[in-house]
Structure 1
């Protein structure tokens, strides 16, 4: 594995260690973090009607409950990316879980609408950094089949949405929305309690020059997986790159230096293009996903004032909201399985484009009067979470806007136009993936730019 001088990198170490019990434990911990985020965000589509009835809220006030959460996430997305890339993935995890769990629990005791708005916004600041769990986990996964494990990790989000819908179905009709808020904070508290057992990312440690700490973690991973690390000295990719750059900068012709400069300029242009496309992707994905979830809840609880077919009778509307969200959350499972089967076979780009196009096509039946049956790795380690954080922040802008669209258009009896808009945005997201200059299938995670 190592080179002729007896050196090996984190990627080579992870390839030797393989995916075993150690990574499975990290998957469980990181997955619990994503379950916590999914549950906190799904609350937005499950308590709106209860709050509207109890506090006599207007449609705009109801929409604001969701919008302020995404406003907080907009701040948290960049904040926690900076913390994670500067002080470590573990520090980022500690920060986001502390704020999310505490603010989420306090939300259950909100005496009025104003205090709930403030506390949900603070909760959003914590939720804005939950993507750190994804980056942290993938930095322990060997390059082969990383795409599959990325899909497996994403499946914990679906588990969270299903659990939240089931919890609301059981709790809200009998005990009210406050109990739902309180119980939904439990996964975040569990993540916080288990925090001391989570290791720091060896990629981050190597990028910061803390080689001995990184080697100790890799040795622990090898021991748990009953494997041996490569013989030699652990080095970061940065040191290897510096060695190669030193040889490139040795006395040569001016043409060689000119070619190197042109390569840097080209890479910068590709990175700018990638950033813009990823920001568009995150915006479109967040806008369409949460918009459709909120649209489902709005149509489930609508009073049939638009003159169309009633989705549910007035008597059954309370329980139908939770069953509809539960079924739509469960419907994500086939998509996850299909994604896992194709992601490493056809590549990241084509698989994402395929799923976006399918999502848009499957929305077509909803563009008519709906009834009950129808409704029912590009960035390097040193900036990885900051870059994902910025892209995630752009996505949260979509999350801030989508409640206004989903609630506002349904209230104005224009759900067909809302669905058409979601279809267009999903297709634009697919195009942003298609025109991305990078395909990360089979690529190692780089340490530096």
Structure 2
């Protein structure tokens, strides 16, 4: 019986194809943060104008100080103190008007939920810089919690906070001490010469009258005060170089140590040029101390604690400013060397505290969260 030969069968599995058009997926909208906008906009004319306005605070304050010092001996006998104060307040009025052109911080507006105001600020900056805004919608990550005073005393920042407070108090104490003691220093016989002494009778009745031994200021004394005041801005370039190359801690400890040294040098008998040099360097050093601690305090704390850290440090600064007049005026009148040693000792403590700070912020990015 013949076998029936079967042909091979090829089985093809067909997959059902859908002829329907696939539904379009929703396109994700682009978003950007304030930091993204700042990076995209870049540096430009707005930042230059902001630098000039903010930098002019010290210049206008210095101009007002120099104006009072320079005109004191000429204007007071003619028109009195009231007109002198009005003239010296002109730089401050100009500064207040200039601040009106500074927009509110975009980060602050976003943190308070005012996104439209933040967007308007960024667009204004981009327009001034002739740049463009990033594409998308402005958003900002929601912070789980804001900074609290207890965070400054957390184990991570406790040592840093306490040392920063000591430094702020000491720097303010030395800064305002130098300024307020300038008149007392010029009355002293620090230039190895004699001064003309004038006896002024104080009191209303003959029984209550008492002699007051005073030293009249000469034109050279006003020149000394003007030159020493210029020291606050003359050495700023060297301060900037020290901060960037030596770091914040080492730079601050060096300037604080030099401040302590120059306080002690005021006690030695010197020439008129030597006294001017000592006061000039003291004003330059105390101003450099302020510049460095401002930068360090703003960099060491994260964003959630930065304003709180600056605010509490500023409060300690005011305490130092309130104590300084009692030392530079009252104690210095009773014991000149004792007052200078006290100022110098405080600066040495601040120098040690600055050198032993646990965190160096040079080259470190700003911390966003704790």
Length-normalised TM-score, structure 2: 0.69
Tell whether the 8 Å contact from 2:196 to 2:216 is kept in structure 1 after alignment. yes
Among 161, 178, 194, the residue aligned to 1:275: 161
Per the TM alignment, residue 286 of structure 1 is displaced from its structure 2 partner at its CA by: 0.8
| Bigger radius of gyration among the two | 2
Where does residue 349 of structure 1 map in the other structure?
249
Distance of 1:21 and 1:388 partners within structure 2: 28
Tell whether the 8 Å contact from 1:300 to 1:311 is kept in structure 2 after alignment. no
Where does residue 289 of structure 1 map in the other structure?
175
- The 1:319/1:301 distance shift into structure 2, 3 A limit, reads farther
SS in 2 for 1:363: helix
Where does residue 408 of structure 1 map in the other structure?
330
Where does residue 435 of structure 1 map in the other structure?
356
Equivalent runs, 1:259-408 vs 2, <5 Å: 268-302=154-188, 309-310=192-193, 313=196, 317-376=217-276, 377=298, 378-381=300-303, 384-408=306-330
- The 1:410/1:440 distance shift into structure 2, 3 A limit, reads same
Distance of 2:166 and 2:153 partners within structure 1: 20
Where does residue 9 of structure 1 map in the other structure?
33
User: C-alpha deviations, 1:48-70, integer Å up to 9, x for none?
Assistant: xxxxxxxxxxxxxxxxxxxxxxx
Tell whether the 8 Å contact from 2:191 to 2:275 is kept in structure 1 after alignment. no
- The two structures, once aligned, show a CA RMSD in angstroms of 3.4
Where does residue 125 of structure 2 map in the other structure?
221
Tell whether the 8 Å contact from 1:282 to 1:394 is kept in structure 2 after alignment. yes
Tell whether the 8 Å contact from 1:409 to 1:418 is kept in structure 2 after alignment. yes
Name the structure, 1 or 2, with higher relative contact order (CA <8 Å, separation 6+).
1
Structure with greater helix percent: 1
Per the TM alignment, residue 410 of structure 1 is displaced from its structure 2 partner at its CA by: 3.0
Distance of 1:346 and 1:301 partners within structure 2: 38
SS in 1 for 2:155: helix
- The 1:384/1:421 distance shift into structure 2, 3 A limit, reads same
Tell whether the 8 Å contact from 1:380 to 1:446 is kept in structure 2 after alignment. yes
SS in 2 for 1:214: helix
Tell whether the 8 Å contact from 2:328 to 2:339 is kept in structure 1 after alignment. yes
Tell whether the 8 Å contact from 1:204 to 1:382 is kept in structure 2 after alignment. no
Unaligned runs of 5+ in 2: 1-27, 198-214, 277-297
Unaligned runs of 5+ in 1: 39-157, 246-263
Length-normalised TM-score, structure 1: 0.58
SS in 1 for 2:167: helix
Where does residue 186 of structure 1 map in the other structure?
90
Where does residue 212 of structure 1 map in the other structure?
116
Equivalent runs, 1:19-168 vs 2, <5 Å: 19-35=43-59, 38=61, 161-168=65-72
Tell whether the 8 Å contact from 2:103 to 2:121 is kept in structure 1 after alignment. yes
